[in-house]
Structure 1
Amino acid sequence: MKKLLLLYSLLLSILSLQAERRFTLSSPNGNLSCSVFLGDTLSYSILFKGSQVLSKSSLYMTLDNGETVGIYSKLRSCKRKSVDRIVESPFYRSSEISDKYNELVFNLKKEWSVEFRAYDDGIAYRFVNGNDKGFKILDEHVEYSLSGDEKVIVPYVARGSDGDFESQFFNSFENTYTECNVSAINPGRLIFLPMMYETSNGIKVCITESDLENYPGLYLRGNSNCSLKGIHAPCPKRVEQGGHNRLQMLVREREDFIASIDGKRSFPWRIAVVSDDACNIAASNLSYLLASPSRLSDVSWVKPGKVAWDWWNDWNPAELDIDLSFIEDVDNKSVEMFIDGINFHRIARDYRKSMLGRFGKSSIKVKLAPGGGFVMKIFNK
């Protein structure tokens, strides 16, 4: 009887495991390829010119209803397509850029899908939810399994204590980069993006993200098995005003989830920019191409220019001549202004308010304190 029960349990275990299926997606020029594995856990790996630059790395989302998208996920269908188009980029380093990639979309159960794209200079993936019902995301599992003890170039969070991620979440995302092997990464410190690593044969991989909206930014931390694991700050539950000049909202208590979702939406792209030339990493347009398109139908009124931040390089008093010629019926307009005082950088309440009635002219002169600014409101009198 015991042997029968043991055999029965073994058969159930075997039947419960999904046979792993492998799908391959290649870049348009064929140099870069991604293998996606759909089995017990959704995972992928990356090859560049035949060399492995990312070992099998898993991805999944844990929801508050007990479901985990990417674990034992049933494949309903998959769809491939190729795109070759020109994207207008009026405020970028080029007025238009090429958007050329091959795509593989896995449609899973309950209106979920995972999209993979292969560009000539990188691989990207994201989760997409097609259900109207709201839910909460408890965690998103992001993993980068390196092929060995590769050299990494990482920016650690500069604030907070080692091992205390809550204290590190409150930071300015500013630091110099640290170069070391992945095995020497400090596991007690968060890494913000972008970061880069280099394989033993000189292939560079830059990890970053794009299309981040109503979702926490991705941090990474090192693990002992030459891998990097994603960390997300949970949603704030209780905040209070404080910080520098009491201009910040400090998180005092957090929820047990990282994002609250109202319904259909896509999630941030996880990007690996890959090249054997560091110049190509810097020249990549993937962060721009994978961002959401502009929601403005008319951007002709936006005029790009140059600006220097006085906070850093010039704390001299300034007098500005504000051009108001674009305002119709200027004689019947009033102006309300708030202008920083000389101690604004220490005392947030140091400003003056002034009101101008019918000014009847096409420009206004504004005198600014060193490093200061102003806010102006124009309305019908």
Structure 2
Amino acid sequence: MNRISILLISFIAIAAFSCSAVLSSKNEWSVSSPDGRLCMILKLDSKTGKIGYSAMMRNGKDTVTLIGSSPLGIILKNQSFMADLDFSHAAEIRTINDEYTLASGKQLVNKATAKEISVSFKNIYKETITIIMRAYNDGLAFRYYLPKKENTTHIITADLTGFNIPEGSKAWLQPYDKIKRYSPAYEKYYTEVLSGIKAPDTEGWCFPALFEINNHWILITEADHDGTSPAFHLSPDAEEGTYNLRQPESKEAENTGNNLTTTTLPWKSPWRVIIASDSLDGIIQSQLVNNVARPPINIDFSWVKPGRSSWSWWSDRSSSRNADKLKSFIDLSS
């Protein structure tokens, strides 16, 4: 094989993975991270009108599927964005550059760069839903956006988002609590299982969820809640490897509110975040959850003086009522 042929094959291989621009296919759009290693692809099924996505990482010459073909969509009480969708338009890919300083945390001064694309679809009622996708060097994020301006309250009865984890992957998952007086409290232990294993209880699994996929790591969670959407968790069954989002259990509202997303329009869902790395170090070091969160507005943090703290609850639940037991924790924090 001559040098020109080798170069041509190499170029085709790189082009096949690179998705920094909108793909030529009418029903396929994508965005890649600034370094070109991470890629998220959005697809519209021309027969069913359903939308879905997948995510990949390039590792040298190899391409690793992080998230296989997974469903997207939402259902409102009065209409659906589940199927029968038609493509409306796609915005040009834009670059996101953010700089911010935290009052506390693992890294105070932060810079974040991402590529973003927004793709809009219309349902049978000609109402619009937009999928916003971002690709950072350390992960991917996506959210739903309903741009219509309307003061009428809408209830989102189902979020169809799923995460298809490749077969044979390892998972570290926390079982979701049953609804009791003091739970769910996110206090159960994380368990190492094979992905797809059914949760021990019908309530499912918690966020965040950690997976090892072909010697690569992803952590799935949510970010940037604005108060309209409750915190989701994962379904107990991962049928064909897909973990679907699950609304809070109905009894969690305790008759004080709605366990479903309730909002006027326009509305944006929380970001669904997929932190990705070759190692656990990258998962721990990632600031992706902070990167996609909106900055606080009109809040004065000048009085906050972060310092060391310790709490005895985890090691000795009754110690909070015993001054002598708490002295050692006070000494530790001083």
Inter-partner Cα distance in structure 2 for 1:234 and 1:316: 32
Inter-partner Cα distance in structure 2 for 1:108 and 1:209: 23
TM-score, length basis structure 2:
0.75
1:304 lines up with 2:310 in the alignment = no
Inter-partner Cα distance in structure 1 for 2:211 and 2:84: 28
SS in 2 for 1:263: strand
Inter-partner Cα distance in structure 2 for 1:250 and 1:173: 16
Q: Against the structure 1 CA distance between its residues 169 and 56, is the aligned structure 2 distance closer, same or farther, given a 3 Å change threshold?
A: farther
* Amino acid paired to 2:87: K
Q: Which one has the largest radius of gyration?
A: 1
Aligned counterparts, 1:345-364, within 5 A: none
Q: Tell me what 2:173 maps to.
A: 154
1:25-62 C-alpha deviation (Å, 9 max, x unpaired): 11001111111112311111111112211111111110
Q: Tell me what 2:20 maps to.
A: none
Q: Tell me what 2:330 maps to.
A: none
Shift of 1:69: 5.8
Q: Against the structure 1 CA distance between its residues 30 and 251, is the aligned structure 2 distance closer, same or farther, given a 3 Å change threshold?
A: same
Q: Tell me what 1:275 maps to.
A: 277
1:231 lines up with 2:250 in the alignment = no
Inter-partner Cα distance in structure 1 for 2:139 and 2:54: 12
Shift of 1:370: 8.1
* Amino acid paired to 1:48: M
1:46 lines up with 2:55 in the alignment = yes
TM-score, length basis structure 1:
0.67
1:21 lines up with 2:27 in the alignment = yes
Shift of 1:253: 9.4
SS in 2 for 1:289: helix
Show structure 1 runs of 5+ residues with no match: 1-18, 161-165, 237-248, 318-341, 344-367, 372-381
Q: Is the 1:24–1:36 contact (alpha carbons within 8 Å) kept by the matching residues of 2?
A: yes
Q: Against the structure 1 CA distance between its residues 253 and 304, is the aligned structure 2 distance closer, same or farther, given a 3 Å change threshold?
A: closer
Q: Is the 1:60–1:71 contact (alpha carbons within 8 Å) kept by the matching residues of 2?
A: no
Query: Which of these residues, 70, 80, 90, is aligned with residue 57 of structure 1?
Result: 70
Shift of 1:291: 1.4
Q: Against the structure 1 CA distance between its residues 210 and 250, is the aligned structure 2 distance closer, same or farther, given a 3 Å change threshold?
A: closer
Shift of 1:217: 1.1
SS in 2 for 1:131: strand
1:90 lines up with 2:109 in the alignment = no
* Amino acid paired to 1:112: I
1:142 lines up with 2:168 in the alignment = no
Query: Which of these residues, 224, 227, 230, is aligned with residue 216 of structure 1?
Result: 230
Show structure 2 runs of 5+ residues with no match: 1-24, 327-334
Inter-partner Cα distance in structure 1 for 2:102 and 2:257: 38
Identity of aligned residues (%): 21
Inter-partner Cα distance in structure 2 for 1:117 and 1:174: 31
1:158-202 C-alpha deviation (Å, 9 max, x unpaired): x43xxxxx6699411112111121233337341101111112x21
Q: Against the structure 1 CA distance between its residues 38 and 316, is the aligned structure 2 distance closer, same or farther, given a 3 Å change threshold?
A: closer
Shift of 1:297: 5.2
Shift of 1:111: 4.8
Q: In the comparison of the two structures, how many residue pairs are matched?
A: 286
Q: Against the structure 1 CA distance between its residues 284 and 51, is the aligned structure 2 distance closer, same or farther, given a 3 Å change threshold?
A: same
Q: Tell me what 2:113 maps to.
A: 100
Q: Is the 2:132–2:143 contact (alpha carbons within 8 Å) kept by the matching residues of 1?
A: yes
1:118 lines up with 2:139 in the alignment = no
1:248-269 C-alpha deviation (Å, 9 max, x unpaired): x9726986x7111022232101
Shift of 1:150: 1.6
Shift of 1:310: 5.2
Q: Is the 2:50–2:84 contact (alpha carbons within 8 Å) kept by the matching residues of 1?
A: yes
Q: Against the structure 1 CA distance between its residues 269 and 89, is the aligned structure 2 distance closer, same or farther, given a 3 Å change threshold?
A: same
Q: Against the structure 1 CA distance between its residues 62 and 178, is the aligned structure 2 distance closer, same or farther, given a 3 Å change threshold?
A: same
Inter-partner Cα distance in structure 1 for 2:253 and 2:260: 17
1:233-280 C-alpha deviation (Å, 9 max, x unpaired): 2666xxxxxxxxxxxx9726986x711102223210101111111110
Q: Against the structure 1 CA distance between its residues 170 and 68, is the aligned structure 2 distance closer, same or farther, given a 3 Å change threshold?
A: farther
Q: Which has the higher contact order (CA 8 A, sep 6+)?
A: 2
* Amino acid paired to 1:152: A
Q: Is the 1:126–1:268 contact (alpha carbons within 8 Å) kept by the matching residues of 2?
A: yes
Q: Against the structure 1 CA distance between its residues 113 and 250, is the aligned structure 2 distance closer, same or farther, given a 3 Å change threshold?
A: closer
Q: Is the 1:42–1:71 contact (alpha carbons within 8 Å) kept by the matching residues of 2?
A: no
Q: Tell me what 2:17 maps to.
A: none
Shift of 1:369: 10
Inter-partner Cα distance in structure 1 for 2:270 and 2:183: 21
Shift of 1:213: 3.0
Would you tell me which structure has more strand in proportion to its own residues?
1
Q: Tell me what 1:72 maps to.
A: 85
Q: Against the structure 1 CA distance between its residues 111 and 298, is the aligned structure 2 distance closer, same or farther, given a 3 Å change threshold?
A: farther
Q: Against the structure 1 CA distance between its residues 83 and 370, is the aligned structure 2 distance closer, same or farther, given a 3 Å change threshold?
A: same
